Structures are given as structure tokens and as C-alpha cells.
Structure 1
Amino acid sequence: MKLLNYTSVRYLLFTALIFLISIPVFYVVLNRIFIHAIDRDLYQQAGEIPLHQNHIRSESDLALWKTLDNDLEIIPADSVKFLAGPFTEQRTVPGKEGKQDFRILQKKIHMLGKAYVVQIKSSLIEKEDLVQTILLIQLSLFFLMLIGAVGINYFINKKVWSPFYNTLFFLKNFDLEKTAIGMPENTPIQEFLQLNHSVHQLAVGVRNAYLSQKEFAENASHELQTPLAVLRSKLELLLQEKSLSQSQSMLIDDMYKVIDQLEILNNNLLFLSKMENSQFAFNERFDIGQVAAEVADELSFMMDAKSQKLTMHHDTNVSKSGNKSLFKVLITNLLRNAIQHSAKGSIISIQITETHTTIANPGEPLNINKESIFNRFTKGENQRGNGLGLAIAQKIATLHHLRLDYAYREGRHEFHISG
């Protein structure tokens, strides 16, 4: 969920909650105010009854009083239940359907030698109509206010958070290879201005560090090639000496092996640097089975030396877009790793389908954490190599938007390429 929608939705929910609570509260309060006003009028009318009572001299006067005042009922005291305070009662109104609510106040009086109960009534229908009208007006005003508030809040927030989204866009499109880094958009909001300044400083610092590391890796790899070549030539001259003993020759041979390892390490580091600097094109279309067959043919001498066999099963026309040379390095590193870590006479398998490519070999479980198997310079005990082969394979898989995973099942090491 976007930040703008996150705040707007919560503002809307809060406003709706307040509104839902306020409707019944407002209705109850307004109803009580009206009831209180009607009761006050009933008590006022009840206070005026003695004034009219003084003019009643006969039964005809009493009948005339009942006729003239429709809101007044005079009932013998023994035929009605007396209630001290005002109460609400539903009654039928002539000429209208259904019953209506009336507010009634009773008062005891004595006239013409008899006890009567005077009931003063007031219709609540006008009160209900007025309450409904007020509630309708309140609802209309609320929805107008809600729509206006949400709209204003959305557009104001959109404008206020615009510098943030511009900074986010700047970060998403930030490229270390660009020659210049533009400053994020200026804003009058102090917090965003400080954020943009910090982001710009961070971007400049990261790019400078990246360029320095890139230059150092390239220069170091190139510079190492010269002294390694000098060492190799010096050793070759030394081997031509006729006075060398057998032990000295063995030492020189060991030095040759170390130089070979240093050259491989140097080439691998330079190779990783080129990949990280995006110096390879990924616009080729190649057949994975054909690439695997080429790698198997090139490494057949290693398998022959250990009497190993390779079984390959692959679907036809399984192709991939990317860089064929890099993908070939990926398969080469995985197959060479399988050959080196399999015993003599082992059977190594390659399975290629539309969804995945699996290279598996038998062997003992790893003595290292499998989570770090693709990290650089990670090697197990008594393990040869410089620990960069699987790291390079993982990097190539990532550049091809593939996933390289490792698993150990039923005594076999399996590397899965999927994606």
C-alpha cells in the first residue's frame, strides 16, 4: 500500500468511526432536549388549569371546556391510573392511519364535588419530523465535509509528499556508472530538504567508493600479471641450471604450482570485477544442452583421469537469452566442482529441462555451512582451489536472472539452476 493511501484510508476510517458514534449520541441528546421542552410546556399548561377551573359552574361548563381544548382530557379519577410525571403513550388519531406518540402529563383536580384527573397531551409527531430533518441535514453536511476533507487531505498530502516520491524515484534510478549525479528536487519543506541533501551526499560517497574499488581491482589485477610473469620466467631460467639438486627441483615445482594458483586467482578476480562493472552483453540466444555438451567435451580429460562417467538427459530446444560465454563458465565451474569432489569411478549427472538444470555428483556431506557455499573464498578442509568458482557461478546466474541453489540428498550434491 502506498504511503499516501495509507494515511488517507486511516483518516477516512477515523472520520467514519467518529461519525457512526456521533449519530446515535446526537439523536439521543436532541430527543431529550425536545422531550424536556415539551414537558416544560405541559407543566406550564398544568399550572394554568386552576384559572380555567374557577369558571366551571356546571356540567355544561365542563363539557364546553372539554370541547374547546382538544389537548385536554378530563376523566373521573376512579377510571384512570394516575402517574405523577410526564410519560409517552401511543394513541390513535382520527383520520390518520396507525398510532402516534403523545407526551402526557396528569394532574388531579376537584370540581363540582368530584375528583377528576386532567390529562394534558402534546403530539410528538412534529418533534420526530424536526429531528429527522435535522439528522438529514447533519448527514448531508457530514458527507460533504467527509468528501471535502478526504479530497483536500489527499491532494494536500500528494503535494506535500511529492518531494519524497521524487527522492524515491531518484534512488530507484540511481546508477553508479553515470558520470554525474543530479541533486534531488528542492523543496520548501525542511525535513525533505535535509533528506535530499543527505541522499545526495550518500550517492556521491557511494559512487566515489565504487569507482575507487573498481579502479583498484582492475589496476591490481593488471599489475599482478607482470610480476607473476617475471617470477615464471625467472623460475624457467633457474630450471636450466645443471647444478640443481632433486630437492631444489621439487621446490621450484611447488613454486610453479603457487604461481599457477595466483594467476588463476588473479584472473578470477578480474573476471568478477568485469561482471560487477557490467562489461558483458546479454543479447544472445543459445541452447543450454549444446553448451553443456561443449563443457562436458572440454572437461572429459579430467573425468578420464579419475575413471568417471557423465550421464546427460535434456529436453530438446531448451534455450536461454543472455551471454553464452558467461553461461558456459557457469556450467564449467559447476561441472569441474563435481569432478573434483567426486571419487574415482563416480557417475556425474546433468539433467536439463524447461524449468531447471541440475548437476549432481556423489560425495560425502560438506563440512561447511551450505548457506555460505557461494561466498567468495569459502573452502572446506582439504579442499583445493581458491574458493571463487561457485561465487563466480552464483554471480553469472544472478546476471541471467536465474537462481542457483545447492542441496544434499541421498548422498549426492545437487546444484539447481532455475528461473
Structure 2
Amino acid sequence: MLLLATPLFYLLTKHYYAEDMIDIIEAVRSGQPIPALDLEEDIMKGVMIQFAVITFVLAVAMALTVRFISRRLWQPFDRTLCLIEGFRLENGRVPDFPESNVTEFVRLDSTLRTLMHNSLASYNMQKEFTENASHELQTPLAVFQSKLDLLLQSPDLTKRQAVQIQGLYETASRLARMNRNLLLLAKIDNRQYEQMEDIELTGFIGEMLPSLEFLADDIAICKEFAGAFSVWANRTLLECLVNNLVVNSVRHNRDGGEISISVGGNSLVVANTSDDPPLDGRLVFNRFYRPGNKPKGNGLGLAIVKAVCDYHGWTVEYAYKDGLHCFTVGF
């Protein structure tokens, strides 16, 4: 910067410091009288201008130097931050942090690496425990249900015993469904559904309608397909999402009510009539959430819907409009 400012210093010297000397030399050479001199004024102006130029040059040079040094200095930290932002437990891989000569950054990378390894180990242990527990529970539950079936078929049962066994059978069935749902949630969280395909949504729901109408029983299902569009999804999870939305609409509907399934505008809307008041949109997708402590379901259906949407990068929202409970999935 000082070298670039050299021409400016040359002009400053010529027109202020050496101006009077140049006038005297030219007057002597031409034989003219020596002109009046303003040496003091020129020196003062020259000093002030020179001071301002040097200050400006040094300020610009320091700003550029500090900016360059700061960028070089914080570059390893920025790369580490980018790696942390891209870290996912589901991938099962700890990123390789860049090397640095700064002691504090080396300690930071070492601490983060240890923390990620510990988090990954805990995640794998929890994943393995959930899968093993769910699988191990399936066999005793199935045996328990089969023995209850045999007891219900016994001719020596009294009415009271039959009622008690029927209650146990319903409880076992609810435990089995809960176990399957928890296992499904664990698989979704562990990203075990990697097979994706392009699915035409209206045709897909049209194929599911007969089974959905069977689930709805005496509740009418109205469909409204505004246009055909495709989604990139796992077929099993998409089917699970639609099933859970419809089953939830059936369980919380009223006798002779209606369910509407609308497809259009890159969204799927499932709405149902109900005598229930509006739900809490902040809690409705939480696991085991039951408004008003109602015994219907196990409180995991909408949590599965939310997990499927998060897995695919979709959105799901709840709203209460015109007496209808509406669930909107945005693709």
C-alpha cells in the first residue's frame, strides 16, 4: 500500500515542500527577481496532507491484513462447523475434522470427535435395544393371545370368566398393536426404509380405497382428486401414512359421519366430522397424546404420520375448520 502511494508522496513533495525551491531555481536561471515565498504555509499544508495520506494508507493496509489473517485463522473452525451441521446419527459415521496448528481448535475437534463417538454408540445401543425388545415381545404376546383364544372356546366358562378373558384378549391385542407401532417408529427413526420410488398419488389412493372403505364401515368416505401428481416416497411408508390418517378419522368420528380425502396442489388433506372439540396443534402429533384421556387407539397413529413426513421431508399440519378436523400433508 505504501509503494502504491509513492506517486502521491512525489506530487505532495513537488507541490508543497519543494515548490519554493523550484520557483527560486527557475527565477535565477531566467534572470528574474526572486518571487515572494510562502514556505511556512506550504510546509504546514504538506505536513497535514502527508499525515492524512499516511493514516489512510495504514488504516486500509491494516484492515486488509486483519481481514486476510482472520479468514485464514478461522478457516479450520468454519470447516469444522460445516461438518457438524452435516452430521447425522443415522448415517453412523463421524466426520474427519481438518488439521489445524491452533491449539484451541485442536482441542475443540478432539472434544467434538469424542462427543460424536459417544452419541453414536448410545444411539446404536438404543436402536439395538428397541429392535430386540420389540421382536422379543412379539412371540410371548402371540402365545398369550392364542391361549386366550383357547380359553374363550372352552365350554365350561362362566359368563363372568368369559367377560374377564375377553378384556384380557383386548388388552393383549392393544399391546401387540402398540408393539408393532413402536417397532415401526424405531425403523423409521433408524432410516431402514431406503427403497424409494416415484408414486402417482391419486392412483395410489384409488387402489387403497376398497380397504379404506372397509375400515370406515358405516362412515362415508368422499374423495376429491383435483389433479394427478407424483411423489418420491417409500411405498410401504406412504401406505402407512394414509392408513393411519384414515384410521384416526374413523376412531374419532361420529356415527354416520363422513371422511373426505382430497388430493391437489401438491398436498393431501384428510378431514373428518366429529363431536370432539378442536385439538391442540402443538401436541396432536406427540406420541401417546390422547385428548381428554380418551381410550381410543394407543396414541401412536399421528406420531407415525409425523415420523413418515419427517423421513421424506414433507410437512403435516392440523387445523379445525367448519366443524371438521383437517390433517394436511404437504409434499
TM-score, scaled relative to structure 1: 0.65
Of residues 218, 226, 232, the one that matches 1:315 is: 226
Larger RCO: Structure 1 or Structure 2 (Cα < 8 Å, ≥ 6 residues apart)? 2
1:274 aligns with 2:191: no
Contact 1:282 1:321 in 2 (8 A): no
Distance 1:131 1:291 in 2: 88
Does the 8 Å CA contact 2:198/2:232 hold for their aligned counterparts? Answer: yes
SS in 2 for 1:406: strand
Residues 1:137 and 2:50 are matched in the alignment: yes
Amino acid at match of 1:309: A
Pairing 1:336–2:244 present = no
| CA distance, structure 2, for counterparts of residue 412 and residue 367 of structure 1 | 9
1:400 paired with 2:299, answer no
1:97-140 Cα offsets, whole Å, 9 max, x none, are: xxxxxxxxxxxxxxxxxxxxxxxxx98x6555444433443343
Deviations 1:261-283 (A, max 9, x none): 11111111111111111111253
Letter in 1 for 2:282: E
Distance in 1 between residues matched to 2:95 and 2:222, nearest whole Å: 55
Q: 2:130 aligns with which of 213, 217, 220?
A: 217
Work out which of the residue numbers 77, 101, 114 in structure 2 matches 1:164. 77
Q: Which 5+ residue runs of structure 1 have no aligned equivalent? A: 1-94, 96-121
Q: How many angstroms does 1:250 deviate by?
A: 2.0
Amino acid at match of 1:416: T
CA contact (8 A) 2:197 2:233 kept: yes
CA distance in 1, matches of 2:301, 2:92: 32
Q: Deviations over 1:212-258 (max 9, x none)?
A: 11001000000001111221222233234332112212222222211
Q: CA deviation at 1:404?
A: 0.3
State the secondary structure of the residue aligned to 2:271.
Answer: strand
Instruction: Call closer, same or farther: CA 1:387–1:324 in 2, change over 3 Å.
Output: same
Conservation of the 8 A alpha-carbon contact between 2:254 and 2:275: no
Distance 1:368 1:406 in 2: 8
Tell whether 2:269 aligns with 1:358.
yes
> For 2:318, what is the secondary structure of its paired residue?
strand
Instruction: Measure how far apart 1:367 and its partner are.
Output: 6.9
SS across alignment from 1:414: strand
Q: Deviations over 1:269-310 (max 9, x none)?
A: 111111111111253111111222233321212333x3x222
Change (3 A) 1:179 1:279: closer
Three-state SS of the structure 2 residue aligned to 1:184 is coil
141-150 vs 353-362, which deviates more? 141-150
Higher strand share: 1
Within a 5 Å distance, the mapping from 1:100-115 to structure 2 comes to none
- Provide the residue aligned with 1:255 in structure 2: 168
Structure label with greater radius of gyration: 1
Specify whether residues 330 and 129 from structure 1 end up closer, same or farther in structure 2 by C-alpha distance, changes over 3 A only.
farther
Aligned match of 1:245: 158
Query: RMSD value over aligned CA atoms?
Result: 2.5
Q: Residues 144 and 360 of structure 1: is their aligned pair in 2 closer, same or farther, counting only changes over 3 Å?
A: same
The 1:406–1:179 alpha-carbon spacing in structure 2 relative to 1, beyond 3 Å, is: closer
The C-alpha deviation readout for 1:307-366, integer Å capped at 9, x for no partner, is x22221112322111212211211111111112211112222122112322111122344
User: Which residue pairs with 2:20 in the alignment?
Assistant: none
TM-score normalised by the chain length of structure 2: 0.81
Of 367, 380, 385, 2:297 maps to: 385
CA distance in 1, matches of 2:44, 2:237: 80
Q: Percent identity?
A: 31
The residue aligned with 1:191 is 104
Any gaps of 5 or more consecutive residues in structure 2?
Answer: 1-34
1:154 has 2:67 as partner? yes
Q: Deviations 1:376-416 (Å, cap 9, x if unpaired)? A: 01012324111000000011111221110001122111111
Aligned residues: 297
- Checking the alignment, whether the CA contact within 8 Å between 1:183 and 1:196 is kept in structure 2 is no
Contact 1:221 1:270 in 2 (8 A): yes
SS of the residue corresponding to residue 285 of structure 2 reads coil
- Counterparts of 1:226 and 1:142 in 2: how far apart (Å)? 83
Q: How far apart, in 1, do the equivalents of 2:123 and 2:159 lie?
A: 49
Q: 1:54 corresponds to which residue?
A: none
Whether the aligned pair in 1 keeps the contact of 2:286 and 2:303 (CA below 8 Å) is yes
Aligned match of 1:8: none
